Amino acid sequence: MAALWPDNPRLIGEGVPRLDGLAKASGRAKYPSDERPDGVLFAVVLHSPHAHAKIVKIDTSKAEAIPGVKGVHLIANEGATLRYHGEEIAAVAAESEEIARDGCRAIAIEYEVLPHAVTEAQAVADGAPQLTPRGNTQAGRAQEDGDPEAAIKEAAASIEGEYSVPVITHVCLETHGQVVRWDGDTKMTVWASTQNVDGVESEMAGAFNVPATDVTVLTPVMGGGFGAKFGADTWGVAAGELAKKTGKPVWLFLDRIQEHLTAGNRPSASAKLTLAADKDGKITALIAETAGTGGISRGAAFPLPYVYEVPNSRRQHTDIRINGGNARAMRAPGHPQGCLIMESALDDLAEKMGIDPLQMRLNSLAEQDTVPSGAGEPLNRSEIYRDQIKLGAEAIGWDQRKPRSENAKASGPLKRGFGMALHQWGGGGRDDKQVTCIINPDGSVELRSATQDIGTGCRTVLAQIAAEVLGLNTTDITSNIGNSQFPPGQASGGSTTTPSMAPPAYNAALEARDLLFKRIASALDAEPGDLEIGKGVILVKGEREVPWKEACRKLGTMPINVTGSFSEGLTAQGVGGCQFVDLTVDTETGVVKLNKIVAVQDTGLILNMMTWKSQVYGGVIMGLNYGLFEELVMDPSTGLCLNPDMELYKLAGASDIPAIDIIPFDNEQMRKRGVIGVGEPPTIATAAAIGNAVANALGTRVPNFPMTPMNVLNALAKA
Amino acid sequence: MPPEDHKAPAELPRPGHSRRDFLRGSSLAAAGAVMATSAETAMHEARADVSEADGVEIFSGSCPIELKVNGEAMSVTIEPRSTLLDTLRNRLNVTGPKRVCDRASCGACTVILDGDAVYSCTTLAISCTGHEVRTLESFETDEGSVPQSFLQNDALMCGYCTPGFVTACQAWLEKNPGKEPTLDDIKQGLDGNICRCGTYIGVFQAALDAAKAMKKGGA
């Protein structure tokens, strides 16, 4: 089918309130963690109290003897090595959560505590404990372009810099977990807080050796994932084991401490680099040694050079393992790190050369950076960036910006600064997902897909598309998602959900409409080609209006049930954006106060302006947290995480939110590209822009993120 | 507060364990401050079914109490250490309030206790006997209501923090009837709540709109 999105849409692009918004705002929406099936038992996970230890002996008999404890499941056995504070050891199911916690405390374990390395410095130090047989560090192959040494020699100017950002964690508000109920020996119902309904289904089916069709994963709504909730996880399987053992449904969600320690993190990043430019202020060369840790797992690589064209570059990256929880994808994996390192260095070089950093960015964009445009000719993203930068600079008041040297000389402790940064992301859809559209004889319309709504409004957007095609209101459509028994749905990752699911929803609605026309035409004394969709009516020969419900009644008893697939031309990929920050730093306290953030973002065809804006605001605020507050703190001496909570792991509250100006880069050309996806891109550049604004305000670079009072004052002390 | 509320923990007669031990065992020492007379009585009367297995102290025990939740009298058997949040969610199936941080940092569990917004994750259920507990399930949802205002402003994404924000907002408006708040008032009023999706901008507008509607409605 060669359908394209409609030229003059009635609903697409409008701000339509969420279908499940009132249920969420009135407490009636049932999240997986709210499910309490009859006879439910509550399970609690026991985790490692040590950074590195061997389990010598484990005795669960006392736990099993506690009245109310119904089952104990060992995740790690005697002889197992625990590699970080928080690694799972066992799970206990009991009549109440309180008793399950008692059960965990009653498990007697003898540990052989091993030496640990919980910081990158500890892991690379001489005599560090070896965390894997292959060592603690793993160097990637050097990436090289051109001749960076020669280019640096010929450059008009260069800087040498060091920048770093620590490990942070997702802090999904609904913790990871599932409720598992066995229905007989092979059938299983799983209420999972996941961004990957189909993935959890196959994982659970594999773990228990039952057919995937016998596993039903339900995720009607879920409380945030940000990349951490793709799998069933060891504790999900433990819930299944306990449910099997006890014959009762088992509720198992991590507590906040475990969530912080074991449910995923965004790796740290650091770089020691040389950046050089020619006399016109165009970047010509980059040499970088980079490193990062994702904890006990790998995955700390990030893109560099980032966004800009650097003809001569060499980069050597090293992944470092420590005794910490595993890295997991986190909103635009790698990009926030690459962005803040590249953008910090670029800003410092512009400062050294006395060039406006905005101009230096324009100079250093590639001449041709082509991205697909959906149905038409490819687009040059560099031109899009130029337009976006113009819009953003005007909205923040970039002309008020003064060079660092001038700000540093300003009197008084309060210094104002401006900063900016650019980012990019892929997005785009997958072609193997489906949506079913059902039109019932009573006129009700239902969409079905296994995909889930991670909070972006997927349920609403799909209904909006069907409503557009069928001439109905969004609220007339029932959008049933989050059920693994429905047609295959996209996992919510990479900003691919909407671009993967919107085309099949559109095609399903179009096919359902055509089939409806075919089935009811004769009953309306017409040919299928005589029928058209009007608003809430079927138009016969452009004149007679038959109300939607009356027309559907002509279907008799057989509903229309069609499944739509992907088709070309409805999506594209490759977006960009820029962000600007205006802030004030108190040089006596080190406190950074944001005055305003401007975010300009393109994402192709925007389906729902209201939920789109919410996502961009949300991305910016997550970036704000990354720039100002977040850091997972490990204690070098004990090896324990010091802030697995929401008090000492700081996140922005209401008073930390500045004015935020969102500018959708939305024009005819963008709309023609089709749907792309916006979850990730707007979170990338914020921290980088904040860091640059802080450097601009202070007259000196704060090289270590986040921009906490400690890091700011440390940088001032060294300046 | 009457003087008997300030009895030293050690003076509390309780079979087997002092309240101090109980609090240490349940990691809820912070909640001790909110214990009221009725709570202590209930604790005292609790049939503490304490099992002690070779040095592992178990503080379980059943304690039947009456709670008034959303205008309805409810009988429930809890443990003295059970929080109001866990009692609502795990025993009464009132799952509107959410458990997120479990230590009074994020506000997702906010309920209205005798007119005050409180964190139910650090309020002991037994301290609520004789008091009125309201959760967001009891709020109006029609035009101009707080939940409706959240919907209209897309003041929610994943929605897990939303019950707390809605409840804090409702409590603020009830405490300040007829007042038209500034943006700063709203920010201060909601500073005890955290949203990870970053819906604050919508939340601020929802709160401002709800205040306006409330004033117009003469409530």
- DSSP code at position B91: I
Residue A174 parent element (H or E): none
Confidence of residue A498 (pLDDT cuts 50, 70, 90): very high
Residue from the list A31, A619, A657 with its beta carbon closest to the beta carbon of B160: A31
What is the torsional sign of CA A8, A13, A14, A20? positive
Closest-CA distance, A456 to chain B, in angstroms, reads 6
**pLDDT (average), residues A474-493:** 98
Confidence of residue B39 (pLDDT cuts 50, 70, 90): very low
Chain B residues within an 8 Å CB radius of A177: none
Contact at CB, B60 and A106, closer than 8 angstroms: no
Closest-CA distance, A575 to chain B, in angstroms, reads 21
Closest-CA distance, A142 to chain B, in angstroms, reads 37
- Distance in angstroms (rounded) separating the CA atoms of residues A377 and A375: 7
Concatenating the DSSP letter of every residue in A334-363 gives: THHHHHHHHHHHHHHHHHHHT--HHHHHHH
- Asked if B163 reaches chain A (Cβ–Cβ under 8 Å), the answer is yes
Q: Does the ipTM exceed 0.90?
A: yes
* Test the B interface: residue of A14, A16, A69, A173 with most B CBs within 10 Å: A173
Chain A residues within an 8 Å CB radius of B187: 654-655, 657
Of the candidate ranges A33-37, A663-667, B19-23, B98-102, the one whose mean pLDDT is the lowest: B19-23
Contact at CB, B96 and A28, closer than 8 angstroms: yes
- Asked if A59 reaches chain B (Cβ–Cβ under 8 Å), the answer is no
Contact at CB, B158 and A224, closer than 8 angstroms: yes
Chain B residues within an 8 Å CB radius of A17: 151-152, 154
* Test the B interface: residue of A95, A102, A172, A194 with most B CBs within 10 Å: A102
**pLDDT (average), residues A377-396:** 97
Closest-CA distance, A15 to chain B, in angstroms, reads 9
Tell me, what's the pLDDT at B13? 34
Write down the mean pLDDT value for chain B. 80
Tell me, what's the pLDDT at B51? 42
- Distance in angstroms (rounded) separating the CA atoms of residues B136 and A25: 8
Give the pLDDT confidence of A253-293 residue by residue, as tens digits. 999 999 999 999 999 999 999 999 999 999 999 999 999 99
Closest Cα to residue A347, out of A626, A600, A685, A701?
A: A701
Closest Cα to residue B172, out of B122, B120, B214?
A: B214
Confidence of residue A32 (pLDDT cuts 50, 70, 90): very high
Q: Looking at A565-606, which runs of residues are DSSP E strands? A: 575-586, 592-601
Contact at CB, B154 and A15, closer than 8 angstroms: yes
Cα angle A320, A324, A326; round to 5: 85
Residue from the list A31, A614, A654 with its beta carbon closest to the beta carbon of B157: A614
119-138 of B, contacting A, C-beta below 8 A: 135-137
pLDDT at B4 over 50: no
- Distance in angstroms (rounded) separating the CA atoms of residues B59 and B68: 26
Cα angle B35, B86, A174; round to 5: 130
Distances (CA, A) of B207 to A456, A659, B115: 21, 16, 18
Q: Looking at A48-98, which runs of residues are DSSP E strands? A: 53-59, 69-74, 81-82, 88-94
Closest Cα to residue A25, out of B146, B207, B142?
A: B146
Distances (CA, A) of A425 to A225, A393, A696: 19, 21, 27
Residue A102 parent element (H or E): helix A97-106
- Distance in angstroms (rounded) separating the CA atoms of residues B114 and B193: 20
Which positions ≥6 away from B27 have C-beta within 8 Å? none
- Asked if A27 reaches chain B (Cβ–Cβ under 8 Å), the answer is yes
Contact at CB, A654 and B158, closer than 8 angstroms: no
Give the pLDDT confidence of A529-559 residue by residue, as tens digits. 999 999 999 999 999 999 999 999 999 999 9
pLDDT at B21 over 80: no
CB-based contact A166:A264 (threshold 8 Å)? no
CB-based contact A315:A288 (threshold 8 Å)? yes
Closest Cα to residue B144, out of B202, B217, B73?
A: B217
pLDDT at A351 over 80: yes
Give the pLDDT confidence of A60-80 residue by residue, as tens digits. 999 999 999 999 999 999 999
CB-based contact A673:A370 (threshold 8 Å)? no
Closest-CA distance, A591 to chain B, in angstroms, reads 18
Contact at CB, A455 and B204, closer than 8 angstroms: no
Tell me, what's the pLDDT at A377? 86
What phi and psi, each to the nearest 5 degrees, are found at residue A524?
A: -100, 15
Q: Which residue of A has its CA nearest to B197?
A: A618
Of the candidate ranges A368-372, A641-645, B33-37, the one whose mean pLDDT is the lowest: B33-37
Closest-CA distance, B81 to chain A, in angstroms, reads 8
**pLDDT (average), residues A450-476:** 98
Q: Which residue of B has its CA nearest to A659?
A: B201
Directed axis angle between helix B200-216 and helix A609-628, to 10°? 120
**pLDDT (average), residues B194-210:** 98
Is pLDDT larger for residue A377 or for residue A224? Answer: A224
pLDDT at A296 over 90: yes
CB-based contact A81:A114 (threshold 8 Å)? yes
Q: Which position has the token pair 């309920």?
A: B111
CB-based contact A706:A167 (threshold 8 Å)? no
Residue A246 parent element (H or E): helix A233-246
Contact at CB, B141 and A26, closer than 8 angstroms: yes
Contact at CB, B194 and A660, closer than 8 angstroms: no
Give the pLDDT confidence of A104-127 residue by residue, as tens digits. 999 999 999 999 999 999 999 999
**Residue B61, exposed/middle/buried by CB under 10 A (0-12, 13-18, 19+)?**
buried
Contact at CB, A224 and B105, closer than 8 angstroms: no
Q: Which position has the token pair 């408006």?
A: B173
Of the candidate ranges A153-157, A691-695, B55-59, B158-162, the one whose mean pLDDT is the lowest: B55-59
Tokens linked to A367: 């001449």
pLDDT at B58 over 80: no
Residue from the list B102, B155, B202 with its beta carbon closest to the beta carbon of A255: B102
148-187 of A, contacting B, C-beta below 8 A: 171-175
Closest Cα to residue A708, out of A616, A644, A625, A621?
A: A625
- DSSP code at position B90: I
- Distance in angstroms (rounded) separating the CA atoms of residues A626 and A619: 11
**pLDDT (average), residues B43-54:** 44
Tell me, what's the pLDDT at B55? 52
- Distance in angstroms (rounded) separating the CA atoms of residues B93 and B69: 11
- Asked if A655 reaches chain B (Cβ–Cβ under 8 Å), the answer is yes
Tell me, what's the pLDDT at A173? 98
CB-based contact A129:A122 (threshold 8 Å)? no
Write down the mean pLDDT value for chain A. 97
Confidence of residue B214 (pLDDT cuts 50, 70, 90): confident
Tell me, what's the pLDDT at B32? 36
- Asked if A330 reaches chain B (Cβ–Cβ under 8 Å), the answer is no
SS3 A562: strand
Residue from the list A102, A106, A173 with its beta carbon closest to the beta carbon of B161: A173
What is the torsional sign of CA A6, A9, A14, A19? negative
Residue from the list B82, B96, B196 with its beta carbon closest to the beta carbon of A172: B196
Give the pLDDT confidence of A601-627 residue by residue, as tens digits. 999 999 999 999 999 999 999 999 999
pLDDT at A598 over 60: yes
Tell me, what's the pLDDT at B60? 59
What phi and psi, each to the nearest 5 degrees, are found at residue A426?
A: -85, -65
pTM score of the predicted model: 0.94
pLDDT at A654 over 90: yes
Chain A residues within an 8 Å CB radius of B48: none
Contact at CB, A174 and B161, closer than 8 angstroms: no
Neighbours of B98 (CB within 10 A): 27
Confidence of residue B179 (pLDDT cuts 50, 70, 90): confident
Closest Cα to residue A344, out of A148, A165, A152?
A: A165
- Distance in angstroms (rounded) separating the CA atoms of residues A402 and A418: 8
Which positions ≥6 away from A262 have C-beta within 8 Å? A47, A84, A86, A87, A88, A254, A325, A326
Closest-CA distance, A272 to chain B, in angstroms, reads 32
Give the pLDDT confidence of B72-129 residue by residue, as tens digits. 999 999 999 999 999 999 999 999 999 999 999 999 999 999 999 999 999 999 999 9
Tell me, what's the pLDDT at B59? 55
Of the candidate ranges A102-106, A218-222, B52-56, B164-168, the one whose mean pLDDT is the lowest: B52-56
